[in-house]
Amino acid sequence: MTDLTTRAWLLSDAPQTRRQARLGAFYQGWLTFKANRLAMFGLVILILLLLMAAFAPWIAPQNPVAQNLAERLKPPSSAHWLGTDSLGRDILSRLIHGSRVTLFIVGTVALIAPVIGLFVGTVAGFAGGWVDQVLMRITDIFLAFPKLILALAFVAALGPGIGNAVLALAITSWPPYARLARAETLTIRNADYIAAARLQGAGPLRLLIGHIWPLCISSLIVRVALDMAGIILSAAGLGFLGLGAQPPMPEWGAMISDGRTYILDFWWVAAMPGMAIFIVSLAFNLLGDGLRDVLDPKGAKE
């Protein structure tokens, strides 16, 4: 009974308080999201990944960096569920600890890149004129290089390491967000509700932050979720090339790189981290799809 009334309270068309209105809007979104089974599947995987990262030391059966040369390159067995690598380290434990690295990379890039993109794009679109020209030409310069090559150049200049790899990825992945945010801003800029706010004397900063950002952010979130897979792969690529995480840090890309030498005889060394990257990338894509249903209804159905 209380369940029913809570639901009615949330779905009410006439909310009585600010809090009810907010929660109601949120609940509506959740219902739309929940209707997408695949997106829910993605969400569950990502929650598991989060838990795995949070409790890594307790979940991992063995020390991820402890070498045991007697046990090197053992196939999956009851002692080592996913086998061992060339230094006899337990691959499962390394994967579990590696999820922390992956989440760190993805999280940081996802925080930095869209924020830069949102700022550059909305300012360019809203100001127009020469500001727009300058900002968008800078964006074009970044877009003119392949992302990984540019990231490589940055890492080469800054020195290898996980921090620099993240920085390089963030710096190279904002331009698409800037483009997207600018395009959105251009359609919003001349809307009547912006004109109405201007007539109340709202200044450009208020219009930008209070009126334009909320409308751009939702499409950016969707885009970020869909790009996550790409970011993971780029990070893994840098790791694979030896420019990301440095040994013995258990980063998934670097693990594949390690397994490359033995790929024909000991397939599991490269395949297991590959599998992990695949599953997490897929989960982010599914989540992004679901988020699009919720945040960007015009793009989803009809």
Partner 1 sequence: MTDTLLSVSNLRVSFPTRSGVFEAVRGVSFDLGRERLGVVGESGSGKSMTGRAILGLVRPPGKVTAGRLELNGQSILNLPEKQMRAIRGSRISMVMQDPKFSLNPVMTVGQQIMESYRLHSGQSGRAAREKALGMLHAVQIRDPERVFDAYPHEVSGGMGQRIMIAMMLAPDPQILIADEPTSALDVSVRNEVLRIMDKLVSDRGMGLIFISHDLNLVAQFCDRVLIMYAGRVVEELAAKDLHNARHPYTRGLLESLPRLDHAVERLSVLERQDGWRDEIRPNGA
Partner 2 sequence: MLKVEDLNVWFGDHHERVHAVRSASFTVGTGESFGLVGESGSGKSTILRAITGLFGSWSGLVEVAGQRVSGRHRSRAFHKAVQMVFQDPYASLHPRHSVDRVLSETLHLQGMDQIDARITRLLDSVGLGRGFRFRYPHQLSGGQRQRVAIARALAAEPRLLLLDEPTSALDVSVQAEILNLLSDLRKERGLTFVMVSHDLSVVAHMCDRLAVMRGGEVVEQMQAATLRSGDAQTGYARDLLAASSSYRRETTPDPAA
Query: Rule CB under 8 A: is residue 149 a binding residue for partner 1?
Result: no
Give the long-range contacts of residues 244-250, CB within 8 A, separation 24 or more: 244/155, 244/160, 244/161, 244/162, 244/165, 245/101, 245/161, 245/162, 245/165, 246/160, 246/161, 246/162, 248/65, 249/101, 249/162, 250/64, 250/65, 250/93, 250/94, 250/95, 250/97, 250/98, 250/101
The Cα 117–Cα 172 span in angstroms is 11
Q: Of 20, 32, 67, 246, which one interacts with partner 2 (CB under 8 A)? A: 20
Pattern 191-210, partner 2, x by CB under 8 A: xxx-xxxxxxxx---x---x
> With CB under 8 A, what is the number of residues at the site for partner 1?
3
Question: Residue 2 or residue 200: which is nearer to partner 2 going by CB?
Answer: 200
Q: Which of 278, 245, 287 is nearest to 98 (CA)?
A: 245
Query: Rule CB under 8 A: is residue 31 a binding residue for partner 1?
Result: yes
90 pairs with which residues across the strands? 84
Question: Residue 8 or residue 199: which is nearer to partner 1 going by CB?
Answer: 8
Query: Rule CB under 8 A: is residue 50 a binding residue for partner 1?
Result: no
Output the six-digit token pair for 253: 């890309």
Query: Rule CB under 8 A: is residue 192 a binding residue for partner 1?
Result: no
Element (H, E) at 9: helix 2-11
214 binds, options partner 1, partner 2, none, Cβ within 5 to 8 A by partner type: partner 2
Query: Rule CB under 8 A: is residue 25 a binding residue for partner 2?
Result: yes
Query: Rule CB under 8 A: is residue 11 a binding residue for partner 1?
Result: yes
Query: Rule CB under 8 A: is residue 131 a binding residue for partner 2?
Result: no
Where on the chain is the footprint of partner 1 (CB under 8 A)? 11, 31, 302
Where on the chain is the footprint of partner 2 (CB under 8 A)? 13-18, 20-21, 25, 191-193, 195-202, 206, 210-211, 214-215
